[in-house]
Structure 1
Amino acid sequence: MTAAYTLYAKPGFAATTIERLCSEARISNRAFYECFGGREELLQALHERCVEEGLAAVAKALREAPAALEAKARAAIRAYIEFVTGDWRRARIMHVEVRRSGDILAHSRQRAVDAFARLLEEAAGDLPAPGPANRRLVTLGVIGALQELLIEWLLSADPPEVEELVSAAVHIFGRTLGSA
């Protein structure tokens, strides 16, 4: 998994063969197939591990945040951005390779988005809904915007600072609530 973590991030999933994975990991092809059905299954395992760790980071931030919705949102956004940008390979797998893999991770990606949305919705609890909009749709919109900000951070020749990402995402969230 360690070899795949680096190779799937760069040169990327499509360019990484089983042979290259096994060579980098110093294992035989047979040993690989004893653990995984193929490189797609390995990518899914890596993606799911990253998602679980990201969910844990966001959940911890939400538990420790003040009760106000905007404070919870800021804490969750900061925790997620810091988690993802803490290792460029993680960011690349979670936000670039997951999309480039096509149908391979479509279901896993959708489960991840749903899990983050549910976590944020639960954190909002009984707090007022964001204006007349459906809370779930607003949450999904903020998650989508956050994903695009992180892709910009990864692929830009002059990536924004992490604090700029946090500020932009918090601003977007605040605007959806009509408060920023």
Structure 2
Amino acid sequence: MLDGWNVNRSYRGMSAEQRLADRRERLMTAAYTLYAKPGFAATTIERLCSEARISNRAFYECFGGREELLQALHERCVEESLAVVAKALDEAPASIEGRAKAGIRAYIEFATADWRRARIMHVEVRRSGDVLAVSRQRAVDAFARLVQDASADFPQAVPVNPRLLALGVVGALQELLIEWLLSEEQPEIDELVAAAVHIFNRSLGDA
């Protein structure tokens, strides 16, 4: 009989909305590891579902495909990183040098604290081809704006387009992290920070 049957009933104490949110989070957690290694291209929906312990049908209730899941994961990593850097800049000394060191160290330490985060943001984002093209561009733009804000009062030696200069600094930082991820002789975190701060200072006119 259907008398009193609640089609929106909870299951194991969770509503339908909570179950969907739980499955999405389990897929995000599974993708966080699998998209980092063996990588996006090598990770099938079946493997993601097995890791997350959900059915293939449930996957498509959460995401439209592997690409949509990758984009959601990448955007989460970017948002978390931006928040960490913004907080470090707010708490940094008022000087340009102090803000630069604080922001760069905060980003590098946060990115390298979990190799999966660094790998998704700096390796898989490129290997995924067009999948993350728009998301990656938004991320680069957001980080470039942070650099511009942090260096707004820097006494530049020569006039240079500030946005292009910020993009160059962001690109250099990305390459340093790729070196950390892929090099056989992994550089120390302090070495990465020192190199990035030096590039920042020299690029923005510090003698």
State the TM-score, normalizing by the size of structure 1.
Answer: 0.96
| 1:57 lines up with 2:84 in the alignment | yes
| 1:165 lines up with 2:181 in the alignment | no
Shift, 1:70, TM fit? 1.9
**Aligned residue for 2:13?**
none
State the identity %.
80
Deviation larger for 103-112 or 126-135: 126-135
Shift, 1:127, TM fit? 4.6
Q: What amino acid is aligned across from residue 160 of structure 1 in structure 2?
A: P
**Aligned residue for 2:139?**
112
Shift, 1:174, TM fit? 1.1
Shift, 1:133, TM fit? 1.3
State the Cα deviation string for residues 136-167 of structure 1 (Å, max 9, x = none).
Answer: 11111110000000000000111101000000
**Aligned residue for 1:174?**
201
Residue among 155, 159, 180 paired with 2:182:
155
**Aligned residue for 2:168?**
141
Shift, 1:126, TM fit? 4.5
State the Cα deviation string for residues 66-116 of structure 1 (Å, max 9, x = none).
Answer: 122121111111010001001000000000000000000011000000011
Unaligned ranges ≥5, structure 1: none
**Aligned residue for 2:116?**
89
**Aligned residue for 1:75?**
102
**Aligned residue for 1:36?**
63
Q: What amino acid is aligned across from residue 58 of structure 1 in structure 2?
A: V
Closer, same or farther: CA 143–14 of 1 in aligned 2, 3 Å: same
Shift, 1:120, TM fit? 2.3
Assess if the C-alpha contact under 8 Å between 2:96 and 2:154 holds in 1. yes
Unaligned ranges ≥5, structure 2: 1-27
Q: What amino acid is aligned across from residue 90 of structure 2 in structure 1?
A: R
| Higher radius of gyration, 1 or 2 | 2
| 1:20 lines up with 2:47 in the alignment | yes
Q: What amino acid is aligned across from residue 27 of structure 1 in structure 2?
A: I
More helix by share: 1
SS at match of 2:160: coil
Matched positions, count: 180
Q: What amino acid is aligned across from residue 44 of structure 1 in structure 2?
A: Q
Greater RCO between the two (CA within 8 Å, min separation 6)? Answer: 1
SS at match of 1:11: helix
Assess if the C-alpha contact under 8 Å between 1:129 and 1:135 holds in 2. no
Assess if the C-alpha contact under 8 Å between 2:144 and 2:163 holds in 1. yes
